[in-house]
Copies of this chain bind each other. A is one copy, B any other.
Amino acid sequence: MNDKEFTHLTKNGIHMVDVSAKSEQNRLAISSGNIYLKKETIEKIQKSEIKKGNVLTVAQIAGIQAVKNTSDIIPLCHPLRITGIEIDFDVKTEYINCKVTVNSKGQTGVEMEAITGCSVALLTIWDMVKAVEKDSDGQYPNTHISNIEVIKKEKIN
């Protein structure tokens, strides 16, 4: 194995790569992911969103907190200076899409922050709709989170 290929592995195990020689830059990453729910649940969220938007607001807050805490949640991530976080939802008939945009000024990219925030926002939606999403045996035969991906990653000027 070429150690450079897995930058967190060395002959002595794992480490947090030193980035002190890298220049500070404004950086951006955008992630996307979906949670698939029962049509009935989606309809209820859509209606309540109009009235209150609470399910999605709770999910936004959870996602924002997760972006800020990524270096706690993912062991080898560097603590970063996050400068901005946007979380948007697109409620479709069979699923809700979540997009997370993370801005930072620092020495490493923020794609891990973006996908961690997206995963946690979707997990939070699941938590909020458990009561309607469960079947009569308390199981979730169709609920699932899929397509967590990095849509874009870039350095700005």
Contact = CB atoms under 8 A, between A and B. Distances in A.
Interface of A: 1, 4-10, 12-20, 26, 33, 44, 47-48, 51-58, 60-62, 64-69, 71-79, 81-89, 103-105, 107, 109, 111-112, 115-116, 119-120, 123-124, 126-132, 138-140, 143-150, 152-154, 156
B6 A84 contact: no
B138 A153 contact: yes
Contacts of A140: 111, 149-150, 153
A103 B13 CA distance: 18
11 contacts: A1-B47, A6-B55, A8-B58, A9-B54, A65-B72, A74-B124, A111-B130, A138-B154, A140-B153, A145-B145, A145-B146
Contacts of A20: 26, 83-84, 103-105, 156
Identical copies of this chain, number: 6
A73 B66 contact: yes
A116 to B, nearest CB: 6
Given A20-B103, A51-B1, A123-B74, A13 B57 contact: yes
